Structure 1
Amino acid sequence: MGIQDIIEGKKEWRAHMARVKALPKDYQIVYKEIQKYLFKIGLVELTDGIGLLSGIVDFFEEGAALGKGVLEVTGSDVATFCDDLIKDSKTYYDIYQESVDQEVNKAMKKVIDKKK
């Protein structure tokens, strides 16, 4: 990643956050909680840009334009809303689990091979 990529990424992030700040206050609050949730679970997609987060802002902008409250858009259980968004996405936790399983399988194979 070159310096130009970093600069472009920062510009993109600032533009994204300006969109968030233009949302009604209730949408901003829920967006920030969703963002924290997604960062905490280690969603791999979030390191590839702001595609998912931008999609959430698009969705929120539509809801706000229709005059809906944010919980009318997400439902009252925001964590479930998040889980539904990412149900087929990979997290760093998933990658770590796979890595541990592979290492255990390698170690067990060596143990079995030694016994033969």
Structure 2
Amino acid sequence: MGIQDIIEGKKQWRAHMARVKALPPDYQIVYKEMQRYLFKVGPIDLPDGRLLPGIVDFFEEGVAAGKGVLELIGHDVAAFCDDLVKDSRTYADVYQESISGKPGTDESADRQNQTG
């Protein structure tokens, strides 16, 4: 990753956050909670993916339709987030694979080398 990539990434992130700040306060609060939750448990491709911008798109449509944020996502923010990432590979999956020694992990390769 070169310096230009870093600069471009920061520009995109600032533009993204400007869109978030343009949302009504209740939407901003829920977005920040979703973002915090997804950064803890979310998919591996979260920083490079379309999930966070897609949430902002969804929220902007909700604002335009005159709906409250809880009308869109329900009262359980974590459950809504879990549903969004249910088919994505998460950091928790990677960790589970590493401690279980499933094929393709370093630990299983070490075991095979010791027995083979």
Aligned to 2:97: 98
**Deviation (angstroms), 1:76:** 1.1
Unaligned 5+ segments in structure 1 are: none
Aligned to 1:71: 70
Is the deviation greater in 27-36 or in 83-92?
83-92
Unaligned 5+ segments in structure 2 are: 102-106
Is the deviation greater in 39-48 or in 20-29?
39-48
Query: What is the TM-score normalised by the length of structure 1?
Result: 0.86
In 2: Cα distance, 1:47 partner to 1:17 partner: 13
Structure 1 residues 105 and 6: CA distance shift in structure 2, 3 A: closer
In 1: Cα distance, 2:48 partner to 2:42 partner: 12
Matched, 1:14 2:18: no
Contact 2:42 2:85 in 1 (8 A): no
The structure with the larger Rg is 1
Aligned to 1:36: 36
Aligned partner letter, 2:31? Y
Aligned to 1:107: 111
Aligned to 2:52: 53
| RMSD of aligned Cα (Å) | 2.0
1:68-104, CA deviations, whole angstroms, 9 ceiling, x for partnerless residues?
A: 0000011111111001000011111111211222226
Count of equivalent residues: 111
Aligned to 1:83: 82
Identity, % of aligned positions: 70
Query: What is the TM-score normalised by the length of structure 2?
Result: 0.86
Provide runs of 4+ in structure 1 moved above 4 Å.
none
